[in-house]
Amino acid sequence: MAAIDEHPGEHAAQDPIKLIAVRDTALSLDEVFKAVGDDAAGGTALFVGTVRNHDGGADVAALGYSCHPSAEAEMRRIAEKVAAEYPVRALAAVHRIGDLGIGDLAVVVAVSCAHRAEAFEASRKLIDDLKHEVPIWKHQRFSDGTDEWVGAC
């Protein structure tokens, strides 16, 4: 019997990046979850970022996301980096732009790996790096009529 880590399913897939997109239409949890399906994956971590009704003690009425034309390419660069650092079987990330309402999905990322710990770690790295490095900006509009721009994601 072969040692556990000799099985090809324990290692990263040849091309684990299954879906990278910036969209001006509603995001689908099902689409992202299906994109990372892999028979060798024992763990899948899915993160969903939604528009909340408050920020910094103020009531948020609505917000909009805009991005630089390079945003999708930057998402892919980060995905490739995560896939190189972790034994990723499949990875997906989509971000919404345009006007969103409270409760709308703003970002969905998913990572599948042979084991849950790796999936959690890789998905955390993916969303954190997307948030800090991808040129996507949030314009929050507050209930009191004020607004503010927030850097990436």
Residue 90 has pLDDT above 50, yes or no: yes
Q: How many CB atoms sit inside 10 A of residue 70's CB?
A: 11
pLDDT at 12: 63
Q: Kindly report the CA angle at 68 between 63 and 70, in degrees rounded to 5?
A: 135
When pLDDT is averaged across residues 126-142 and rounded to a whole number, the result is 97
Residues 91-119 have pLDDT tens digits of 999 999 999 999 999 999 999 999 999 99
| Stronger pLDDT, 52 or 12, i.e. the higher one | 52
Interval 13-22: pLDDT, tens = 689 999 999 9
Q: Are 101 and 148 in contact (CB under 8 A)?
A: no
Q: Which residues face 100 on adjacent strands?
A: 63
pTM of the model: 0.90
